[in-house]
């Protein structure tokens, strides 16, 4: 009975956060646009939240612990708290600027760019799911949990932070889906934000996760092969 209660509570928490996310993104995009007739906005909402909903159901059934860790968002590390705030500002500004760009037609991108952006976004989403499959210790916060071990296979044999590598492509494709060049300039801040997160995260892992020092020597690149 206790386990059933925990599962029900987790499901309710996941649904609530999902619905709040849909409403928040919708408000940030469509209110600045001044209309609901923003096709690119609906395209983003669809490709963002439909796969997210399906992934949530899969995690709920197969690995509720992973879902619970993904819902956890409160950072303990001060540097990571700064990263979260900067990321939040980037998303807010990027969505609002995209809506305004559509409304006033400042620097709209052609339709084929949005279609390409959507394809890249969905491909990145698939890779993101693969990262979650490979590493069930992944959390939205920087921490080391009991029993955690170093993952060095699959995408983790290519770069040390494949999840961040995937989100880099994922987030840069968002303004392309929205058809906004101005928004793209805003989202271009993400590589610098995620670099700050990675440097602090590696410091934590170096101190708390057994075998991570050896892993760093084995896999040289953090985010992009042959670059960094």
* Averaged pLDDT score across all residues of the chain: 88
CA distance 89 to 59: 29
Q: What is the mean pLDDT of residues 108-127?
A: 95
Average pLDDT over residues 204-210: 87
Is the per-residue pLDDT at 1 higher than 60? Answer: no
Per-residue model confidence (pLDDT) at position 208: 87
Across 116-141, average pLDDT: 85
Contact assessment for residue 211 and residue 149, using Cβ atoms and an 8 Å cutoff: yes
Identify which has the larger pLDDT, 201 or 2.
201
Check if the beta carbon of residue 109 is closer than 8 Å to that of residue 179.
Answer: yes
DSSP code string of 9-41: HHHHHHHHHHHHHHHHHHHHHHHHHTSS--HHH
What is the DSSP secondary structure assignment for residue 158, as one 8-state letter? Answer: T
User: Which sign does the torsion angle of CA 133, 135, 136, 142 carry?
Assistant: negative
pLDDT more than 70, % of the chain: 89
Rg of the chain, C-alpha, whole Å: 18
Q: What is the share, in percent, of the chain residues with pLDDT greater than 90?
A: 56
According to the model, what pLDDT value does residue 220 have?
Answer: 93
pLDDT surpassing 80 at residue 137: no
The model's pLDDT over 33-80, given as tens digits with 9 standing for 90+, comes to 999 999 999 999 999 999 988 888 887 887 777 777 666 666 666 777
pLDDT value, residue 9:
80
98 forms beta bridges with none
Q: Which domains does the chain have, with CATH numbers?
A: 2-218 (1.20.120.1630)
């Amino acid at each position: 009975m206790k386990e059933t209660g925990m599962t029900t509570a987790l499901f309710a928490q996941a649904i609530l956060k999902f619905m709040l996310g849909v409403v928040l993104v919708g408000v940030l995009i469509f209110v600045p646009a001044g209309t609901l007739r923003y096709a690119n906005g609906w395209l983003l909402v669809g490709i963002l939240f439909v796969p997210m909903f399906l992934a949530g159901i899969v995690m709920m059934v197969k690995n509720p612990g992973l879902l619970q860790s993904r819902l956890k968002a409160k950072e303990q590390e001060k540097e990571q708290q700064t990263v979260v705030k900067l990321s939040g500002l980037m998303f807010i500004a990027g969505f609002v600027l995209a809506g305004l760009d559509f409304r006033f037609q400042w620097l709209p991108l052609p339709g084929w760019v949005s279609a390409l952006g959507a394809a890249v976004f969905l491909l990145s989403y698939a890779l993101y799911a693969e990262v979650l499959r490979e590493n069930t210790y992944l959390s939205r916060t920087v921490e080391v949990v009991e029993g955690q071990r170093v993952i060095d296979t699959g995408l983790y044999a290519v770069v040390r932070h494949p999840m961040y590598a995937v989100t880099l492509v994922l987030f840069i494709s968002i303004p392309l889906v929205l058809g906004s060049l101005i928004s793209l300039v805003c989202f271009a801040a993400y590589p610098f934000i995620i670099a700050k997160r990675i440097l602090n995260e590696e410091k934590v892992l170096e101190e708390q996760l057994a075998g991570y020092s050896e892993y760093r020597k084995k896999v040289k690149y953090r985010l992009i092969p042959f670059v960094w």
